[in-house]
Structure 1
Amino acid sequence: MLRSRLINLPKTVKRNISTNIPALQKATDPIQQLFLDKLREYKSKSTGGKLVDAGPEILKEHQSEIDKLNVQYGGDKGVDMTQFPQFKFVDPAVDVGSVDKK
Structure 2
Amino acid sequence: MILHRVFQFSTVLRSALSVQLRRNIGFTAVVFNKTKNLDPIQKLFVDKIRDYDAKSTKAGGPVDTTAEYQKNMAEEIAKLQRLYGGGDLLKFPDFKFEAPKFEEVSK
State the TM-score, normalizing by the size of structure 1. Answer: 0.50
Letter of the aligned partner of 2:74 in structure 1? Q
**1:44 — aligned with what?**
54
Residue 42 (structure 2) pairs with residue 32 (structure 1): yes
| Structure 2: stretches of 5+ with no match in the other structure | 1-26, 97-107
Structure 1 position 23, deviation (Å) = 3.6
Query: What does residue range 1-12 of structure 1 map to in structure 2 within 5 Å?
Result: none
Q: Return the index of the structure with the highest Cα Rg.
A: 2
Query: 1:48-90 CA deviation, whole Å, 9 max, x = no partner?
Result: 6411111111111111111111111011xxx444374698xxx
Q: State the distance in 2 between where 1:42 and 1:36 align.
A: 10
Moved over 2 A (4+): 17-26, 79-87
Query: What percentage of residue pairs aligned between the two structures are identical?
Result: 37
Instruction: Give the Cα–Cα distance (whole angstroms) in 1 for the partners of residues 31 and 53 of structure 2.
Output: 20
Q: Which of 11, 22, 33 pairs up with 1:22?
A: 33
- Structure 2 CA distance for aligned equivalents of residues 74 and 44 of structure 1: 34
Distance 1:61 1:46, change over 3 A: same
**Amino acid in the other structure paired with 1:47:** T
Deviation at 1:22, TM superposition (A): 2.3
Structure 1 residues not aligned, in runs of 5+: 1-14, 88-102
Q: Considering fraction of residues, name the structure with more helix.
A: 2
Question: How many residues are treated as equivalent by the alignment?
Answer: 71
2:76 equivalent to 1:65: yes
Query: Using the alignment, how far apart are the partners of 2:61 and 2:32 within structure 1?
Result: 32
